[in-house]
Amino acid sequence: MSYRLTRRQQEIYDYLVENQEEFHHPPTLDELCLALGLSSKGSLHKQIQALINAGLVDPMNNQRRGIRLTQPPGAEGELPMMGYIAAGQPIEAIDHNERMEVPAFLRTGGDCYVLEVRGDSMIDEGILDGDRIVVEHRETACNGEIVVALVDGCEATLKRIEQKRGAVILHPANPNMKPMKYRPGQVQIQGVLVGQMRSYH
């Protein structure tokens, strides 16, 4: 099951990732409070517990009091960044041949990749313009899943799929936009949404 971090939890995790080499040993709660400028160790403990529940931080015990990342970021956690995809009118997904570090809890065991969202047709699903989404490569999907759909062999779009006899309907999540209906042969499923990332910078 995926676990969505709050903004504060993401900031703490990002700090641990970016500054892990600055600590001579895994930082304690007191040391992390000082580094982050926090006054409440209890509040930080709750945030760290959430990161433990998400599988990003190892459980703490009496023998190992420091805060340790479960898996140091590296090549094994990187996914290909395949360009951008429309969450509005279809635009072509472009292969940029870049790679991006993605936490394990946002991925599956399958073949995954990252796309940047352009447009606002999925805003009611919490998917905003500029978000990075993690997609598991699949050629089939269940009704109701959010998919990367290739339309007429050339244009990719992000929509919730409905498959009926003789028709495939791609549903936006924006009341100002209408569903798009195609013949089954016009739509090729390229993947299913499994994770989402957002920057607040």
DSSP of 100-163, one letter per residue?
EE--GGG--SS-EEEEEEESSTTGGGT--TT-EEEEE--S---TT-EEEEEETTTEEEEEEEEE
If asked whether residues 57 and 131 sit together in one domain, one would say no
Q: What is the pTM of this model?
A: 0.61
**pLDDT grade, residue 144 (50/70/90)?**
very high
If asked whether residues 86 and 116 sit together in one domain, one would say yes
- The pLDDT value given to residue 174: 95
- The pLDDT value given to residue 192: 95
Final residue before a domain boundary, out of 58, 73, 88: 73
If asked whether residues 41 and 85 sit together in one domain, one would say no
Per-residue buried b or exposed e for 170-190, using 16+ beta carbons within 10 Å of the residue's own CB? bbbbbeebeebeeeeeebebb
- The pLDDT value given to residue 28: 85
Annotate 68-83 with DSSP letters as a single string.
-BSS--SGGGEEEEEE
State which H helix or E strand residue 186 sits in. none
If asked whether residues 56 and 110 sit together in one domain, one would say no
3-class SS of residue 165: coil
CATH number at residue 51: 1.10.10.10
Structural domain including 26 reads 1-73
Burial class for 168, CB neighbours closer than 10 Å (0-12, 13-18, 19+): buried
**pLDDT grade, residue 89 (50/70/90)?**
low
Distance of CA 101 to the CA centre of its chain: 11
Q: How many domains is the chain built from? A: 2
* 17-50 per-position pLDDT tens digit: 888 767 767 788 888 888 888 888 888 889 998 8
Final residue before a domain boundary, out of 11, 46, 73: 73
Residue 140 near residue 114 (C-beta atoms within 8 A): no
What is the rounded CA–CA span in Å between residue 195 and residue 72? 20
| Positions marked catalytic | 121, 159
